[in-house]
Structures are given as C-alpha cells and as structure tokens.
Amino acid sequence: MYKRGALIVLEGCDRAGKSTQVKMLMNALNDLNILAKARAFPNRKTPVGTILNSFLSKEINVPPEAAHLLFSANRWECKEDMEKTLRSGVTLIMDRYAASGAAYTAANTSRSINWCQQADMGLPKPDCVVFLKVSKRQQELRSDWGKERFEHDEFQQRVDANYEKLKDDTWIVINADQDESAVHAEILQKTLSVIQEVQYRDIELLDGANIQPSTEVSTSIQEPSDLGSKLILSNLAMIKNLEDQLSVSYQRKIQNIPKGLSQDLVLQIQIELDQWKESIESEIKKKFQPLQKVISFCNIVLKNLGELMESTEFKIEIVSQPCQKAMSDYNSLLKDIGEHMSAQFNRILTKMDL
C-alpha cells in the first residue's frame, strides 16, 4: 500500500499570519526530509483566478453569489492536481481552502453556511485545519491592512463568527497573537502527528455529512446549460441501464448454476456471485455519482460566468478574456465528462459478461 501525503489547511481571518506560517511549515518539513508543497487559494494564475484577483484588488465588482461560485470553481480547477500530489506521498499545506469560501460568503450575503458549503462537496477533505485566531488589534498592526476588499473590522468579526460554526474534530485553534516561532512550533507538532495518522488512509472527500439540508429558497440562477442538461439525464439513464443489466446478468448466472452440485458448493457459488454483484454496484456508484456533482457544479459556474459576460460592467478586456477562457474550459470539461461516461459505461457493461 502506498503512503500518501496529508492535506493540511491553514485558515483564519485576514492578516492572521497564514502565509508566513505556511512557508515556515513547508521549510520545516523539508528539513526533516518530509516531502511537502505549499499552495494558496485563490490560485490567481488560473483563468478563474485572474478574475478573482481583479475582484479582490477592487478593480471590478462581482455579484457575491457569483463570486462565491468563482472561488469554488478555482478550487475545483486544482482538484486533480491536489489528489495526484497527495497520492505521490507529498504533504500539501494550503493557505486557505473551502472553509474560507463558506465563512466569507456567509458574512457577505444573506446565504446560510449550509448553502455556502454545497459547491465544494466532492473536493478533497482536509486531514487537519489549523485555525489561526487573531485579535483585531494584531490585524491592524500588520502590514497592508485594509488594502483588499474584505479587510475591515465589522466584516472580519462576522467571518470569525462563521469560522466558529464550521469547526469540527479535524480543527485545532492556535492563538495567532503569539510570537511567530511559538505559533510555528504548535503547528509543526500537530502536522507531524497528522502525517503519521493518515499516511495509509484513503483520501476523503467533502461530502456534507455534517451539513443539515438547507430549506432556503435559492434566488441564484441555476438552470443548467444545454450540454450539461443532456449529460445529467444521460448520467442518470446510464446508471439505471447498468443497474437493470446487472440484475439480468445476476439472475442468469444464478439460474445457470449446474444441477447436482452439493449444497455447500452451491452456497459458495451464490456467495461469490453476491460479492461480484456488490463489486459492480460499488463501481457504478464510485464512477457515476461524483460525475453528477461535477456536471451540476459546471452548469452553475457557466451560468454565472455568462451573466457576467452579458453585463456591460464586465465587458472590459481584463474580465471578458478570462471569462471567455474559463467558459471554454468548463465546456471542454463537460465534453470530456461525456466521453468518460460512455467509456465507463462500456467498460462496466463488459464486466457483466452478458
């Protein structure tokens, strides 16, 4: 069994010292011959990240729900690379992740925490979230305070309150008002422990298990694109088709058990057939259910990007070109998913030996 890296996320309000601690932690792990890489969200170098950079630096305005989906889209852009890195045995140290998206959007809109978490379901789940708790006084003493969009006192208080709601048993809270070296020592000790604990575990995904279903009525536009709508229906049809075919194949194999065998042998064959059926059912679930989430998410992002493009406010080149690139990338992703679905369908169908 391979050893995987740990996903360590540093969260906290603005100017809590996250970037500094990420660098210190990565260097400390590398000095201990532990492979580690640092990442930051938003990733401002991707097509979606370019738009977010302009938004955060106050060059443009974006409707808050659309901004939330763009932040989440930015994380989805990096999902495959994150999983590949972790499986290669490299620990990832993240400067912000999904919790930031929920905490900041809930503070900036009337949306609930539940609503804000939904777009990130299916992304890799952190093995440990280190929350750096910083006081208002320390925030204001640190360099460049107030430069970016969300750096003002009342808003930061709402963000901090939302972080409190997001905590679970994977979180630890560290007083970020301490000296940098003291903060670093606590983070390093916890990180080394987590790396040992998770090295042989599967990578878990954010699945909303601890989220209560939201009862609010969404006012954001969520109609799927034509391609996405077809893929959603096709995905559901493929699952139903495979389940029906599996039932037929299973019954045929049961009926074809040779007559005259001992009762023990017949029972053993039935057990093996049950295990075979369960393995196929598990593969159908594993291969097709995540696709449905990605397709639905792409539809939401494409719709909101389309709205941005239609607004005269966003026709300036710095926004329109990255928007067009992002829309093209997401449409290409949907087409790739369609091809992948067909390939998976045929592969699983072949396993059924009809």
User: How far is residue 259's CA from residue 254's CA, in Å, rounded to a whole number?
Assistant: 11
Conformational region of residue 331, where left means phi above 0, alpha means psi within -120 to 50, and beta covers everything else:
alpha
Mean pLDDT across 101-126: 90
When mean pLDDT is compared across 57-66, 92-101, 182-191, 275-284, the lowest value belongs to: 57-66
Query: What does the pLDDT look like over 150-205, one tens digit per residue?
Result: 556 788 889 999 999 999 999 999 999 999 999 999 999 999 999 999 999 999 99
Residue 216 in domain: no
pLDDT of residue 138: 74
Query: What does the pLDDT look like over 314-331, one tens digit per residue?
Result: 555 555 666 777 788 788
When mean pLDDT is compared across 6-15, 124-133, 171-180, 209-218, the lowest value belongs to: 209-218
Contacts 24+ apart (CB under 8 A), 220-225: 220/65, 220/66, 220/300, 220/304, 221/303, 221/304, 221/307, 222/299, 222/300, 222/303, 223/299, 223/303, 224/295, 224/296, 224/299, 224/303, 225/298, 225/299, 225/302, 225/303, 225/331, 225/334
Residue 2 in domain: no
50 and 117, same domain (yes or no): yes
135 and 77, same domain (yes or no): yes
- pTM for this predicted structure: 0.60
Edge-to-edge strand list for the sheet holding 36-40:
36-40, 91-95, 7-12, 128-133, 171-175
Here the tokens at position 196 are 């040992």
45 and 80, same domain (yes or no): yes
181 and 297, same domain (yes or no): no
Residue 190 is which amino acid? K
pLDDT of residue 211: 38
Residue 1 in domain: no
234 and 139, same domain (yes or no): no
198 and 246, same domain (yes or no): no
Query: What does the pLDDT look like over 36-49, one tens digit per residue?
Result: 999 998 888 887 88
| Longest CA–CA separation in the chain, Å | 85
Residues 4, 86 contacting (CB under 8 angstroms): yes
Quickly state the pLDDT bin for 339 (edges 50, 70, 90).
confident
Pairing of strands 91-95, 36-40: parallel
188 and 233, same domain (yes or no): no
Instruction: Supply the range of the domain harboring residue 151.
Output: 7-206
199 and 238, same domain (yes or no): no
